[in-house]
Structure 1
Amino acid sequence: MPISRIAIGSPAEASQPDALKAALAEFISMLIFVFAGEGSGMAFSKLTNNASNTPAGLIAAAIAHAFALFVAVSVGANISGGHVNPAVTFGAFIGGHISLLRSILYWIAQLLGAVVACLLLKFSTGGLETAAFSLSSGVSVWNALVFEIVMTFGLVYTVYATAVDPKKGEIGIIAPIAIGFIVGANILAGGAFDGASMNPAVSFGPAVVSWTWTGHWVYWLGPFIGAAIAAIVYEVVFINQSHEQLPTTEY
């Protein structure tokens, strides 16, 4: 069971140069991702006189997030593993691929990256608000919770299949593409209902800058549950436990 391999880590780990470099890489990757993804929505809204909640706006958001995540994962892959998502980090922790203390370091960097990206967007657009994630009319928090669980399950399952699995072989080189594609596809599926976050940091940044917290817990609980389920399923069913544990920087 992956739960038996969960590691807390040592306090000294947080001050190790490689851990600090990895955290910085996560900060930069998250800043790139949120700035491009959130910024594309703000740009589309400006160009269409605040008509971003349209089919064209949804498609634009899906494409922008898919491309931005592809780049963000690629540039961080060789340093931090290119998690770019607290839920992905949590899934890696559940599978025993990263310690708790290193995970916390990643989470702090990811949240700061998202907040800084939204602050930069607000400043560079002359004070336009970064829209916080919210539920559409007729969608309850429980509907949204299920959406977030299922979509994040698909995302983290893809991460495990293309980047974490020690048997992946050459397929690992397409991991950033596959991860970007599944996020773009999930936005097309769930964007009209709850915004399709799948990423607590992506929800946290706009919420802090706009100070809007309605239903915000959904965008934490759903992704973490989905990530945990994906990690446990893939570890138990598909990863041969006799394989040597992967170093953090290899996924």
Structure 2
Amino acid sequence: MPPRRYAFGRTDEATHPDSIRAALAEFISTFIFVFAGEGSVLGLRKIYTDPLTSASELIVMALANAFALFAAISASINVSGGHVNPAVTFGALLGGRISVVRTIYYWVAQLLGSVVASLLLRFVTVGMRTVGFHVASGVSPAHGLVLEIIMTFGLVYTVYATAIDPKRGSLGTIAPLSIGLLVGANVLVGGPFDGAAMNPARAFGPALLGWRWKHHWTYWVGPLLGGGLAGLVYEYMVIPTEPPLHTHQPLAPEDY
């Protein structure tokens, strides 16, 4: 990732091949993620008459989202940074790691990828409506909002720690796996309450094709607040701007 630098974007950035390639990578990766994530929901609805009501089905959902996001990030991290999520892009924007122009490109690409994935799911599942996300019965939108803020904060904080932090070193090689596993864990936590979106693009395509908009704002406001807060916290409180007070040399293997 580039060093912290707040900028609207260069005059040629909108048409530069790097921007086009990065937007294409975000489109394809978001398509992969939404197709697998939402498709697993439709698959369970095809198998079970009363889906998503047992622990085993929740585990299936968590694994599907974790595996799909792991693959989607791995496929695009070398081209676009592997955001696959408008909330991650927003956190990087507030942290000065991406320009406004490229942010807009990423958001458009992510939303289009989600819509195309949902459209194809609508076609291949023989007219089944995409499900998307909704706040569960007995859970207020306010509770869903706070849940989305907390889960997305953890997600974007992990993205920063493993993929953006200049000190990440070899940890960057497992960034896609770490991020995917955290999303899977958060699905186990938030799935029974609000579906655990943590991603406005993941929520938007299925909502549009299934025309399910109840409490949809929750899945925009919550992730953007949580992602933006994580970007600011990690950028200004965790990444150091001064030389370290103490330095140390790692122990040699024989010293253990």
**Structure 2 counterpart of 1:66, which letter?**
A
Aligned to 1:209: 209
Q: Do structure 1's residue 23 and structure 2's residue 32 form an aligned pair? A: no
Task: Give, in angstroms, the shift of residue 15 of structure 1.
Answer: 1.1
Q: Which runs of 4+ in 1 moved over 3 A?
A: none
Are 1:26 and 1:109, in contact at CA under 8 Å, matched by a contact in 2?
Answer: yes
Are 2:159 and 2:179, in contact at CA under 8 Å, matched by a contact in 1?
Answer: yes
Output the CA distance in 2 between the equivalents of 1:50 and 1:113: 29
Give the TM-score taking structure 2 as reference length: 0.91
Output the CA distance in 2 between the equivalents of 1:173 and 1:124: 35
SS in 2 for 1:107: helix
Please list the CA deviations of residues 135-175 of structure 1 after superposition, one character each: whole Å capped at 9, or x if unmatched. Answer: 10111111001000000000000000001000011011000
Are 2:114 and 2:205, in contact at CA under 8 Å, matched by a contact in 1?
Answer: yes
Are 1:90 and 1:228, in contact at CA under 8 Å, matched by a contact in 2?
Answer: yes
Aligned to 1:171: 171
Aligned to 1:218: 218
Output the CA distance in 1 between the equivalents of 2:5 and 2:77: 23
Task: Give, in angstroms, the shift of residue 10 of structure 1.
Answer: 3.5
**Structure 2 counterpart of 1:73, which letter?**
I
Are 1:41 and 1:57, in contact at CA under 8 Å, matched by a contact in 2?
Answer: no
Task: Give, in angstroms, the shift of residue 238 of structure 1.
Answer: 1.4
Task: Give, in angstroms, the shift of residue 11 of structure 1.
Answer: 4.7
Q: Which residues of 2 match residues 222-241 of structure 1 at below 5 A?
A: 222-241=222-241
**Structure 1 counterpart of 2:93, which letter?**
F
How many aligned residue pairs are there? 240
C-alpha change, 1:94 and 1:46, in structure 2 (3 Å) is same
Output the CA distance in 1 between the equivalents of 2:148 and 2:80: 25
Aligned to 2:133: 133
SS in 2 for 1:83: coil
Give the TM-score taking structure 1 as reference length: 0.93
Task: Give, in angstroms, the shift of residue 132 of structure 1.
Answer: 2.2
Output the CA distance in 1 between the equivalents of 2:83 and 2:242: 25
Q: Do structure 1's residue 66 and structure 2's residue 52 form an aligned pair? A: no
Aligned to 1:78: 78
**Structure 2 counterpart of 1:72, which letter?**
A
| Percent pairwise identity | 57
Which of 183-192 and 8-17 deviates more? 8-17
Please list the CA deviations of residues 227-249 of structure 1 after superposition, one character each: whole Å capped at 9, or x if unmatched. Answer: 11111111112112369xxxxxx
Q: Do structure 1's residue 34 and structure 2's residue 40 form an aligned pair? A: no
Are 2:38 and 2:132, in contact at CA under 8 Å, matched by a contact in 1?
Answer: no
**Structure 2 counterpart of 1:205, which letter?**
G
Are 1:14 and 1:101, in contact at CA under 8 Å, matched by a contact in 2?
Answer: yes
Please list the CA deviations of residues 90-138 of structure 1 after superposition, one character each: whole Å capped at 9, or x if unmatched. Answer: 0010110100110000000000000000110110111111102101011
SS in 2 for 1:128: coil
Output the CA distance in 2 between the equivalents of 1:102 and 1:88: 13
Q: Do structure 1's residue 187 and structure 2's residue 181 form an aligned pair? A: no
Which stretches in structure 1 are left out of the alignment for 5+ residues?
244-251
Please list the CA deviations of residues 200-230 of structure 1 after superposition, one character each: whole Å capped at 9, or x if unmatched. Answer: 0000011110111111111001001101111
Aligned to 1:197: 197
SS in 1 for 2:83: coil
SS in 2 for 1:149: helix
